[in-house]
Amino acid sequence: MDSQTYVNFFRRTSPYIHAHRGKTFVIALSGDAVLDANCQRLLADIALLQSLGVHIVLVHGARPQIDRRLAQSSLSSELHDHLRITGIAAMHCVKEAIGSTRLQLESELSMGLPNSPMHGAEMRVMGGNFVTAKPLGVIDGVDHLHSGEVRRIDRTGIQRQLECGAIVLLSPIGFSPTGEAFNLSYLDVATHTATAIEADKLICISSTPGICVDGALQRSLSLPAVEALLKHLPLDSQAQLERKLLSASLHACKGGVGRAHLIGFGDDGALLSELFTREGSGTLIVQDYSETLRPASIDDVGGIIDLIQPLEEAGVLVRRSRDLLETEISRFMVALHPEGFLIGCAALYPIGSSGSGEIACVATHADFLSQGTASRLLSAIEAHARNQSMDRLYVLTTQAAHWFQEQGFTATTVESLPDDKKLLYNYQRSARVLCKKI
Measured in degrees and rounded to the nearest 5, phi and psi for residue 188 equal: -65, -45
Using the rule CB under 6 A, which residue among 175, 289, 341, 403 binds ligand COA? 403
362 is a contact residue toward ligand COA (CB under 6 A): yes
Which secondary structure element, helix H or strand E, spans residue 142, and what is its range?
strand 142-143
Angle between helices 3-20 and 301-313 in degrees, nearest 10: 150
Q: How far apart are CA 144 and CA 176, in angstroms?
A: 15
364 is a contact residue toward ligand COA (CB under 6 A): yes
Smallest distance, ligand COA to C-beta of residue 189, A? 42
With contacts defined by CB under 6 A, how many residues of the chain interact with ligand COA? 21
Mark residue 46 as left, alpha or beta (left: phi above 0; alpha: psi -120 to 50; beta: remaining).
alpha
For the chain, how many residues are written? Answer: 438
Using the rule CB under 6 A, which residue among 62, 286, 311, 336 binds ligand COA? 311
Which of helix, strand or coil describes residue 139? strand
Using the rule CB under 6 A, which residue among 158, 263, 374, 393 binds ligand COA? 374
397 is a contact residue toward ligand COA (CB under 6 A): yes
Comparison of 86 and 373: residue with beta carbon closer to ligand COA? 373
Question: DSSP label at 234?
Answer: -
Using the rule CB under 6 A, which residue among 3, 237, 370, 426 binds ligand COA? 370
Using the rule CB under 6 A, which residue among 159, 287, 371, 412 binds ligand COA? 371
CB 377 within 8 A of CB 362: yes
Smallest distance, ligand COA to C-beta of residue 429, A? 12
49 is a contact residue toward ligand COA (CB under 6 A): no
The set of residues, in sequence order, having a beta carbon less than 8 Å from that of 348 and lying 6+ positions away, is: 331, 333, 357, 358, 359, 360, 381, 384, 385, 393
Q: How far apart are CA 219 and CA 217, in angstroms?
A: 6
Q: How far apart are CA 313 and CA 37, in angstroms?
A: 44
Using the rule CB under 6 A, which residue among 262, 286, 363, 390 binds ligand COA? 363
Using the rule CB under 6 A, which residue among 79, 138, 369, 424 binds ligand COA? 369
Which of helix, strand or coil describes residue 71? helix
Q: Which of residues 108-127 bind ligand COA (CB under 6 A)?
A: none
400 is a contact residue toward ligand COA (CB under 6 A): yes
Using only C-alpha atoms, what is the Rg of the chain? Answer: 27
426 is a contact residue toward ligand COA (CB under 6 A): no
x/- binding map, residues 375-394, to ligand COA, per CB under 6 A?
x-------------------
Smallest distance, ligand COA to C-beta of residue 43, A? 39
399 is a contact residue toward ligand COA (CB under 6 A): yes
360 is a contact residue toward ligand COA (CB under 6 A): yes
Using the rule CB under 6 A, which residue among 38, 183, 208, 373 binds ligand COA? 373
Mark residue 2 as left, alpha or beta (left: phi above 0; alpha: psi -120 to 50; beta: remaining).
beta
Torsion of Cα atoms, 126 then 115 then 23 then 221, to 10° = -110
196 is a contact residue toward ligand COA (CB under 6 A): no
Q: Which stretch binds ligand COA (CB under 6 A): 165-173, 208-216, 267-275, 310-318?
A: 310-318
402 is a contact residue toward ligand COA (CB under 6 A): yes
Smallest distance, ligand COA to C-beta of residue 128, A? 49
Q: How far apart are CA 360 and CA 358, in angstroms?
A: 6
Taking residue 303's Cβ as centre, other Cβ atoms within 10 Å add up to: 22
Taking residue 214's Cβ as centre, other Cβ atoms within 10 Å add up to: 5
159 is a contact residue toward ligand COA (CB under 6 A): no
Which of helix, strand or coil describes residue 302? helix
Smallest distance, ligand COA to C-beta of residue 264, A? 31
Q: Which stretch binds ligand COA (CB under 6 A): 16-24, 71-79, 246-254, 400-408?
A: 400-408
Q: How far apart are CA 240 and CA 295, in angstroms?
A: 44
Q: Which stretch binds ligand COA (CB under 6 A): 97-105, 205-213, 287-295, 362-370?
A: 362-370
Using the rule CB under 6 A, which residue among 48, 316, 414, 435 binds ligand COA? 316
Binding site for ligand COA (CB under 6 A): 311, 316-317, 360-364, 369-375, 395, 397, 399-400, 402-403
